[in-house]
Amino acid sequence: MIALLSPAKSLNLDSPILISGSSEPIFQLEKQPIVDNLSKLQTKDIMKTFGLSQKLAELNFKRFQVLGSEENLNERRPCVFTFDGEVYHGLDAYTMNSKEIDYAQSHLRILSGLYGSLRPLDLIEPYRLEMGIKIGIGRKKNLYEFWKEKVSLSIHNDLKSTGQRAILNLASNEYFKVIDPKIVEASVIEFDFLEEEAGELKNISFYSKKARGLMARYLIKNKISKLSDIQGFDSERYLIHSNLSTPNKFVFTRKFEPIGKINPHKN
């Protein structure tokens, strides 16, 4: 099985990494046309295309100008320790040991607008490029057209080594759209993480994002190889909702508590 995650817009460029080892992104060379395109964008173009404030646009203009430079390449970090945000707070890779990270290297893929598909230890430069950004790359009208075949074939090949042809989709719709089911040739398992409040079940983005990371962590730490074992996920009080779940979609619920009242426990 392969679990898929989205990347994060925010980056952690400062926390020390205690685990040694790294890898090169599989599409390190293939991304060059995107880098060439981004380097031509001016601050005003970035503000308009990315929907960013001037301050963030200026930051990303500077980053785009140095992508691929020798200095920048020397400062790269493994992506699983660099992406920040709620998904990666849930995944909490900094508290994983080397064996767990090695397992994640084979069973976790992070979809990326710039890099296509990343393994946890793949080295990345600081960047921001959502898959849904409307930019053309050569004859490809958007990043989906540029990456779809490449990424799907890569995932197809990754699945061969896991012994089970199933994709665990913990990515957002924006990123999962880059996967072509006809090329991957695998069953897709979806997930919902819902909060019960006043008798109603709600999808609250802040919590569901973290839950995606928590689920990825559960899969890695427990080396889950059977789909039925996914139902044992119980991080931060989530429990399987059998009536809402189907063979191709697992639904987990918990009673809603405001931020600060949740008592998380690690798997």
pLDDT digit string, tens, across residues 188-203: 999 999 999 888 999 9
**0.85 exceeded by the pTM?**
yes
| pLDDT of amino acid 260 | 54
Strand 123-124 relative to strand 77-78: parallel, antiparallel, unpaired? antiparallel
Q: Quick: pLDDT tens for 72-124.
A: 898 899 999 999 999 999 999 999 999 999 999 999 999 999 999 999 999 99
Q: Which amino acid would we find at residue 54?
A: Q
What is the residue extent of each domain of the chain? Answer: 2-24+77-255
Q: Which of 155-164, 214-223, 236-245 is the least confident region?
A: 155-164
Distance CA 175, CA 129 (A): 11
- Give percent above pLDDT 70 in the chain: 96
- Mapped onto helix, strand or coil, the DSSP state of residue 236 is helix
Pick the more confident residue, 161 or 117: 117
pLDDT tens digits for range 18-74? 888 999 999 999 999 999 999 999 999 999 999 999 999 999 999 999 999 998 898
State the average pLDDT for the chain.
93
User: What average pLDDT does range 228-247 have in this prediction?
Assistant: 95
Residue from 69, 167, 68 nearest 117 by CA: 167
pLDDT at 231 over 70: yes
Measured CA distances, 129 to 2, 52, 112 (Å): 23, 12, 8
What sign does the CA torsion over 40, 43, 48, 49 have? positive
Is residue 175's pLDDT more than 80? yes
DSSP string, 143-212: HHHHHHHHHHHHHHHHHHTTSS-EEEE-S-HHHHTT--HHHH--EEEEEEEEEEETTEEE--HHHHHHHH
